[in-house]
Amino acid sequence: MRKFKENLSGRIFFILALSSISALALITVFIFIKGVPFIAEVGLFNFLFGSSWAPDHGEYGILPMIAGTFIVTFGAALIGIPIALCCAVFLAEIAPAWLRNLFRPAIQLLAGIPSVVYGFWGLVFIVPFIMNHFGGPGVGILAASIILGIMILPTVISISEVSILALPRQYKEGALALGLTHWQTIRSVILPSAKSGIVAAVILGIGRAVGETMAVIMIVGNAPAMPRSILDPVRTLTTNIGLEMNYASGLHEKALFATGIVLFIIIMILNASAQYFTRKRSF
Torsion of CA 59, 62, 68, 71, to 10 degrees: -140
- Which of 195, 9, 3 lies closest to 88, judged by CA? 195
Which of 127, 186, 200, 255 binds other proteins (CB under 8 A)? It is 127
Contact 262, 60 (CB under 8 A): no
Check binding of 5 to other proteins (CB under 8 A).
Answer: no
In this structure, are residues 205 and 155 in contact, taking their beta carbons and an 8 Å threshold? yes
H or E element in which residue 121 lies: helix 115-121
Does the protein bind other proteins through residue 246 (CB under 8 A)?
yes
Of 64, 75, 119, 197, the one binding other proteins by CB under 8 A:
64
Number of residues binding to other proteins, judged by CB under 8 A: 59
Q: How near is the Cβ of 207 to other proteins at its closest, in Å?
A: 26
Does 212 bind other proteins (CB under 8 A)? Our answer is no
- Specify the residue, 189 or 198, whose C-beta has the smaller distance to other proteins: 189
18 binds other proteins (CB under 8 A): yes
Q: What Rg do the C-alpha atoms of the chain give, in angstroms?
A: 23
CA dist., res. 228 & res. 236, Å (int): 15
| Site of interaction with other proteins (CB under 8 A) | 7, 11, 14-15, 18-19, 22-23, 26, 52-57, 64, 123, 127-128, 131, 136-139, 168, 170-171, 173-181, 184, 188-189, 192-193, 217-218, 221-225, 232-233, 235, 243-244, 246-249, 282-283
